[in-house]
Amino acid sequence: MKDNATLYGEIIEWALTNDKSPPDLDKHQPLIDSLLALGIQVPCAPPLTKALVVGGRACLIEQEVLSAVGFQGQIISVDSSPPQAQPKLGTTFLHLPGRFPDEVALSALPEVSTLVCLATSRYFPDAFETYLQLVTRVRTGGLVIIDFLHLPLIPRASINALRDWLFATWQVEGESALIGIHDLAKLSRVFGSLLADTVVSLDSERPELGFARGTIRAQQMIYQSVFPFWFKEGASDSDLISQIVWNLLPRSMEGTEQRIRAFAEECNINVARILALSPNTNVLIGTIK
């Protein structure tokens, strides 16, 4: 019988292989704009400046983020897949194959001037514990750009329960698990289509439930506050299936601003900004004291 770490790795690899969606640079444009507005620049000093990028697959978004802070030097990509981005002028890539910390040890990582981790920490067993390790590789004065997922109570509970189901079913037969995911994708398409033009007016602020006062599209409210029924007009069945699989894989989902500030204090990070990139994603931008 496979242990959970092995099952998790198999499902991650399936998702990476079958997810054909391009990196969403528009989603991260507010981060790039924020870095430009803050005027943060990477300290450049010999030896060659190094940036550590954990996750990110193509490395397209991470390279754009690094460009916004004037980075030039070596980008060390720690991921199962090699970077697909073409290096910009003054930049080179070094690929360390594998997932951190399961397959790539901390001792294999050099000291760097910049750490970037976007849309990956949600898959760590504990984002805060993993980041505690990673920030030790950033030298004094170095830049940290790392994100944290925070989900309300109901979708967090749904994801935990359905991830357990996914693991148990995949353990017996992966194809059977995917049939179940395909049915969830059908429901997602139906909900998304039926609710496309429906809005809901909320009267209260309930962050723990994912509610904010005002109007919101009904499908978005279901996605954010109830269950991750991902939907996008024109998306193929394979797109829906792969996105739902990704949405069942997060393990670290409690990245509140309060916890991030406490983490930054513990790690001697001078906080430049905590950016709410989306209703469920906070990005810590700061420098090592």
| Domains of the chain: residue spans and CATH | 4-151+252-288 (3.40.50.150), 153-248 (no CATH)
Residues in Cβ contact with 127 at an 8 Å cutoff, skipping those fewer than 6 apart: 121, 148, 149, 252, 255
If one compares 272 and 225, the residue with the highest pLDDT of the two is: 272
Sign of CA dihedral 146, 76, 140, 131: positive
Condensed to tens digits (0 to 9), the pLDDT of residues 58-68 reads 899 999 999 99
3-state SS of 12-67 is HHHHHHHCCCCCCHHHHHHHHHHHHHHCCCCCCCCCCCEEEEECCCCCHHHHHHHH
- 41-55, 199-213, 258-272: range with lowest mean pLDDT: 41-55
Closest of 235, 176, 126, 178 to residue 14, by C-alpha: 178
Condensed to tens digits (0 to 9), the pLDDT of residues 34-87 reads 999 988 776 655 445 899 999 987 899 999 999 999 898 999 999 988 998 999
Give the count of beta carbons closer than 10 Å to the beta carbon of residue 70: 15
C-alpha 239, offset from chain centre: 18
Check residue 45 and give its pLDDT: 52
Tell me the residue ranges of DSSP E strands in 112-168. Answer: 112-117, 138-149
Closest of 27, 114, 21, 102 to residue 73, by C-alpha: 114
Check residue 46 and give its pLDDT: 47
**DSSP β-ladder status, 91-97 and 112-117:** unpaired
Q: Residue 149's beta-bridge partner residues?
A: 281
Check residue 257 and give its pLDDT: 95
Q: Residue 30's beta-bridge partner residues?
A: none
Q: Identify the three-state secondary structure at position 286.
A: strand
DSSP 137-152: GEEEEEEEEEEEEB--
Name the maximum alpha-carbon separation found in the chain.
58
Distances (CA, A) of 176 to 111, 167, 248, 257: 44, 11, 16, 39
Q: Does residue 93 carry a pLDDT above 90?
A: yes
